[in-house]
Amino acid sequence: MRHLLEIDDLSSAEVNQILDLATSTDAPQALAGKGMALIFEKPSARTRNSMEMAVVQLGGHPVYIQGQEVGFDTRETVEDVTRTMACFHSLVGARVFAHPVVERMAALDLVPVVNMLSDAAHPLQALADLLTMRRAFGELQGRSVAYVGDANNVARSLALAAGRTGMSFRISSPSGYGFGEVDADRIANAGVAIDIHNRPEDAVAGADAVYVDTWTSMGQEAEAEQRRRDFEGFQVDERLMALAAPDAIFLHCLPAHRNEEVTDAVLDGDRSRIWVQAANRMHAARGALAWLAHENR
Ligand code: CP
Ligand code: NVA
């Protein structure tokens, strides 16, 4: 059984298949008469809505479930929640705090599991990011994306996605907020050409895309004050964007904390593709779900 927990679950060819399905004007009715459970332990605007609409576009029926309703390992075990969902649904998506929860769900091989964001990975976001860059640049091979900020779930999936499409990945994070050894090894094993820079200016210089995420991810709220201090100098503003390639685009997975990790002028400026990127969440999700349904038919 195939699952989608992180981008390196997919080969390069499979990533391209998903992107092609995402851009196809003719959505296959791959989920006709089928259900998908969407379990959220954390809030969501884009992921919930894009996934619900993608399931509908494929002819299926999405069921939104708040984490506390099923209570992973409190009301019943993660495995028993998954077994229950498999009684009713052909696919299960989960947004969780701890990545091992989605691994435990997938390990049962009862129903395909989609990671809708964990502390470690956000593969659906990375697929939408690739789609956005493909639409902006055409061929991705040889292009570069510069990520400025916390080496978090979004950064890890983006790095792996860049590797799968022949892009180079640059990153600049404050000291102590770079990739840990396990993630760095995983990215290296995926064959990603990664450039690590101390100064955001050096990461961004000549890059085709500049990418930003929040400094404080969901679940880290208690560290927000400390992080604001630690990330000083890592805000993306027009001065930094001017160092990128002349036709460079700006990306942010959103939600944005305006004038914290990025200025209004960049978010709302000519180079920004953030709303195309948000809309692409639905197209990328539709491609990923159509691909998963086909693989697991
Ligand atoms: N980018 C993203 O996953 O947004 P939400 O948290 O609103 O789903
Ligand atoms: N890194 C952020 C992404 C939100 C879509 C978080 O995990 O909260």
Task: Supply the DSSP symbol for 7.
Answer: G
Question: Which pair of structure tokens corresponds to residue 57?
Answer: 């576009």
Ligand 1 surroundings by CB, under 6 angstroms: 44-47, 117, 125, 253-255
Question: Which pair of structure tokens corresponds to residue 158?
Answer: 């983006």
Is residue 26 very low, low, confident or very high in pLDDT (cuts 50, 70, 90)? confident
Question: Please, which residues bridge with residue 170 across strands?
Answer: 146, 195
Counting from 1 in the atom list of ligand 1, the atom nearest the Cα of 49 is 8
Task: Kindly report, residue by residue over 99-127, the tens digit of the pLDDT.
Answer: 999 999 999 999 999 999 999 999 999 99
Q: Percent of the chain scored above 70 by pLDDT?
A: 100
> Which whole number is the average pLDDT over 140-156?
98
| Distance linking the first and last C-alpha atoms of the chain | 9
* pLDDT confidence of residue 103: 98
Q: Give the C-alpha separation, 297 to 291, whole Å.
A: 10
Q: Give the C-alpha separation, 215 to 222, whole Å.
A: 12
Which of 95-104, 188-197, 242-251 is the least confident region? 188-197
Counting from 1 in the atom list of ligand 2, the atom nearest the Cα of 154 is 1
> Which whole number is the average pLDDT over 32-50?
98
Ligand 1 centroid, distance to 281 Cα (angstroms): 9
Q: Which amino acid makes up residue 137?
A: F
* pLDDT confidence of residue 107: 98
Counting from 1 in the atom list of ligand 2, the atom nearest the Cα of 213 is 1
pTM across the whole model: 0.98
> Which whole number is the average pLDDT over 212-229?
98
